[in-house]
Structure 1
Amino acid sequence: MTDALAARLAQLPGTELVVGFSGGLDSSVLLHALAALPAARARGLRAVHVDHGLHPASADWASHCTRVAARLDVPLRVERVQVAHDAGLGLEAAARAARHAAFRAAMTPDAVLVLAHHRDDQVETVLLRLLHAAGHEGVAGMRAWRRFDPGWLWRPLLELPRERLVADAHAHGIDSIDDPSNADARFARNRLRHNVLPTLRAAWPDADARIAASATRLREDADALDALAAAQCDLLCGTAPDTLALGGLLELPSALRRRVLGLWLDRLRLPRPPPGVWRRVDEDLLAARADATPVLAWRGAQLRRYRGTLHALRERAAPAQDWCLPWNGAEPLQLPDGFGRLAFEPSHAFASPFHVCPRRGGERILRHGLQRPLRLCLQETGIPPWQRERLPLLFDAAGTLLAAGDCILSDVAHAWPRTHGITLRWTPDD
């Protein structure tokens, strides 16, 4: 195994290796094998153990991992996490989310997280995703190499059957932890592992190899679709990265359209919709009336339509409305959460202070010599309704509206570059 690892290691970027070390047989074999490679140590080989606190013996497991790492002379970091039982994810998914967050926290930029998933894990993953009606990307299983911010994730054992790891553990006298939760039939993966796969393998002895080979072919198809989706995403993305041209999106086949949307959300670092929400994208959002402004929201994100453009936004609380701040312009003004920041460039102190407030409706503004409803000016400018809710309004001491952010300027504010040599700048919150 060490020879195969050394060959693969030579092909990786020259960054440090961080082994996810649970203390179980799989990660123990992986850590021992990497610790035997001078090339791995030269990259700053180290390990991370995540204590989920879900078992009474979890502290003992952390101690075991500490002793093993010390014997191997590999630096170890123990991360204790809180698993969110009430996050609506299920215990397995919640533990995985907490574990991945701990891994990310322990990684430096461009570090390589090394995990001990093997072919048996891949087979289980493929079958579980089939049972969840996953598409190409899901049924293609786990990638051996992928981006994992702030670095990379590498699964060097993904083509090896677990029996190979068991043989290595016995051959080298590697001691490991046996987590009793691996036999708990409440978890779907365990039911599949202990009840379904033995029957499948008895009927088809080469079932694992065939399933893994199918996953590889599906991975190739998925990668080709990803490349096509990336090209379409680049083509449809507007001048703002969080917008997509709706017309071009609707012309795509449904399967490609969904892939483009998923990639776009990934680029924005927004969570993808859960399956139940995905099913509503076409019907509730994309097929709505041309003049409608529908919204589709899920935990952490939302999609909105406005004037032929699709917008992706982070989940945000309703903006505060009960505030009004004085400002003389001498220093930038940080506004309440959601309203951003106002500043003059260059800074300029006015003798009579302004007042900055949120919209309350019915405001009028002097533009081109005429008093006009602010509502109509915002519509004509094409500012989406949800952005109007967080647009700070600048009033003079007499209560005259001078500006809405820096999007709508009154005749007075429009003249400031000429009369005062300054420009009003509004920086929205992300």
Structure 2
Amino acid sequence: MKPSLAAKLLQVLSPWRNAPAWHIAFSGGLDSSVLLHLLATLARIETLPPLSAVHVHHGLQTAADAWPDHCQSVCDSLGVPLRIVRVQVQPGASLERAARDARYRAFADGTGAGEILLTGQHRDDQAETLLFRLLRGAGVRGLAAMPGARPLAAGYLVRPLLDVSPAELQAYAHDHRLAWIEDPSNADLRFSRNYLRHQVFPRLTERWPQAATRLARTAEHLSEAQGLLDELANIDLHIARQPSGFPWLALPSLALEPLSGLSEARQRNAMRHWLSALTRLPDSEHWAGWVSLRDAKPDAQPLWSLADGQLQRCAERIWWLPATWSDFSGASLDWSHPQNPLQLPCNGHVYFKGQAPKGALSIRYRQGGEVMAVPGRGRRDLKRLLNESGVPGFVRGRLPLLYRDQQLLAVPNVPGLATSAQGDWELHWMPLTCDQGLS
């Protein structure tokens, strides 16, 4: 006997039954209306996490102004709290993508630790996604289409209806006399997904009735293949993730040598896996930047610019610098009455271990030509001292230099340059990490 839609839903959601809360992405359309009704009904007979719904209002069409009221009415009738979020869609080349980005930012903002956001994408959505990405030349990761679950903020996004056909959703909605919104934009063939849905898929299913089912199955196979590629990437990255010589510099980095010994395909696979948590991935043509970075001479300090930051190579290590890495003023700060620690605008903080030195202290940043007295070595050019220490070039402009009047006293974190001649104090710097605002 074929299981009911409710039974299928419970089975898919069984791993998430102990979550602190379930939030339903409720557009008011057919798919999310069925999902909301199913869960609200099940909550009366099953022990489920607290349910709520969230409706994102994009403000892109006049008809949408009435949708929050409809969603509120449906939620009130089911006894499910509703949160309505109004977002600003940033203009760009793709209105579809901009609206999606705004929507998922709103979802992420409302999803707490361990909580689940449930969305109503179904089997045909999965098939359309696969075909759409295939036409765009996506790789295995893209062709795996939509995962059944993925991290979202501090919780997870779960798509429990990916194995459900539109016909099953329609039948459930009619059986329970549900009312839903028909979005006029879903018929606009200028949008690629609508063109696939209304022009391409009907022709495919006319010739191959099981086309959507088989395409969705292919997406599952590709998802499994991507899982194996991710396992291989973790094996290849294990040695490359060895710690750098600068534990205070909390930026993602990899040792280059373990990667250079891999085949070209394994290098790209490992780097895609590592970069996927940091930036939007480059297309095939832009991977030449990786080759240039990898093969540059050790003293060349090459960089590879990506969508959300850049990779820099220093000696035999590659470092990820988010786009906001250079977003600090570099202005001098008075430290005559030392606060310990001293907060640096957009640059973390500095602090003393031991008794702070006396006098008119200040924090400055490199301008070039700095000279420092080093015990036992006399006066030395700071640039040469930093070269000797191996401090990566990209961080040198952010090093907070300690001055007393016009005398350079210390460079934090650099052995031999961070302490007083008597050893009664030591200067430390804690730069911002990606988690603290550099992402």
* TM-score between both structures, scaled by the size of structure 2: 0.90
State the 1:64 CA deviation: 0.3
Q: Hey, what does 1:11 align to over in structure 2?
A: 15
Write the distance in 2 (CA, Å) between the matches of 1:293 and 1:13.
Answer: 50
Q: Per-residue displacement from partner, 1:348-368 (whole Å, max 9, x unpaired)? A: 454412222111111122223
Cα distance in 2 for residues equivalent to 1:40 and 1:366:
73
Tell me how many residue pairs correspond in the alignment: 419
Deviation readout 1:177-207 (Å, 9 max, x if unpaired): 0001101111110111111111111111111
Which 4+ residue blocks in structure 1 deviate beyond 4 angstroms? 408-411
Residues 234 and 40 of structure 1, relative CA distance in 2, 3 Å threshold = farther
The residue aligned with 2:306 is: 298
Q: Distance in 2 between matches of 1:76 and 1:22?
A: 11
User: How large is the Cα RMSD of the aligned pairs?
Assistant: 2.1
How far does residue 41 in structure 1 lie from its aligned partner after superposition?
A: 6.1
- Tell me the CA shift for residue 409 of structure 1: 4.4
Contact 1:48 1:78 (8 Å CA) reproduced = yes
| Structure-2 residue corresponding to 1:332 | 341
Alpha-carbon distance between aligned partners in 2 of 1:425 and 1:352, rounded to the nearest angstrom = 19
Q: Which amino acid aligns with 2:29?
A: G
Task: Provide, for residues 211-254 of structure 1, a one-character-per-residue CA deviation record: whole Å limited to 9, x for no partner.
Answer: 11211111111111111112222321131561111121122233
* Correspondences of 1:162-241 after superposition (within 5 Å): 162-240=166-244
Preserved contact between residue 329 and residue 344 of structure 1 (Cα < 8 Å): no
- Ranked by relative contact order (alpha carbons within 8 Å, sequence separation 6 or more), the top structure is 2
Distance in 1 (CA, whole Å) between partners of 2:204 and 2:339 is 74
| 1:249 and 2:259 aligned | yes
Encode CA deviations 1:254-282: one digit per residue, 9 max, x unaligned. 3332232233234xx42233427743333
The reply to whether residue 345 of structure 1 matches residue 353 of structure 2 is yes
Q: Is the 8 A contact 1:319 1:389 kept in 2?
A: no
Q: Deviations over 1:89-135 (max 9, x none)?
A: x1111111111111111112111111111110001000011111111
**Residues 1:265 and 2:259 aligned together:** no
- The reply to whether residue 111 of structure 1 matches residue 115 of structure 2 is yes
Counterpart for residue 408 of structure 2: 401
Residue equivalent to 1:62: 68
Aligned equivalents of 1:319, 1:152: Cα separation in 2: 33
Q: Are residue 84 (structure 1) and residue 90 (structure 2) matched?
A: yes
The residue that corresponds to 2:426 in the other structure is: 423
Which whole-Å deviations, capped at 9, do the CAs of 1:11-65 have from their partners, x for residues lacking one? 3251121111000001001111111113666310111110011111222101100
- The AA in structure 2 aligned to 1:337 is C
**Partner in structure 2 of residue 309 of structure 1:** 317
* Correspondence for 1:387: 395
Name structure 1 gaps, 5 residues minimum. none
CA deviation after TM superposition for structure 1 residue 324, in Å: 4.7
Instruction: Assess, with a 3 A threshold, how the Cα gap between structure 1 residues 235 and 252 changes in structure 2: closer, same or farther.
Output: same
Cα distance between partner residues in 1 of 2:38 and 2:330: 60
1:329 and 1:350 in contact (8 A); partners too: no
Once the 2 structures are TM-superposed, how far is the Cα of residue 298 of structure 1 from its aligned partner?
3.2
Whole-Å Cα distance in 1 between the matches of residues 319 and 226 of structure 2?
26
Residues in 1 aligned to 2:47 and 2:328: alpha-carbon distance in whole angstroms: 51
- Per-residue deviation at 1:66? 0.6
Alpha-carbon contact 1:20-1:47 (below 8 Å) kept: yes
Give the aligned residue type for 1:22: S
Q: Secondary structure at the match of 1:292?
A: coil
After TM superposition, the structure 1 stretch with the greater mean CA deviation from structure 2, 326-335 or 236-245, is 326-335
Q: Distance between the aligned counterparts of 1:279 and 1:262, measured in 2?
A: 10
- The alignment status of 1:284 with 2:295, answered yes or no, reads no
| 8 A Cα contact 2:351 2:427, kept in partner | yes
Alignment check: 8 A CA contact 1:330 1:350 kept? no
> How far apart, in 2, do the equivalents of 1:424 and 1:98 lie?
43
User: Equivalents in 2 of 1:143, 1:273: separation in Å?
Assistant: 17
Which of residues 30, 37, 40 is equivalent to 1:35? 40
Give 1:288 deviation, angstroms: 2.4
**Which residue in the other structure is 1:75 paired with?**
81
Could you list the runs of 5+ residues in structure 2 that have no partner in the other structure?
Answer: 245-250, 434-439
**Distance in 2 of aligned mates of 1:10 and 1:337:** 44
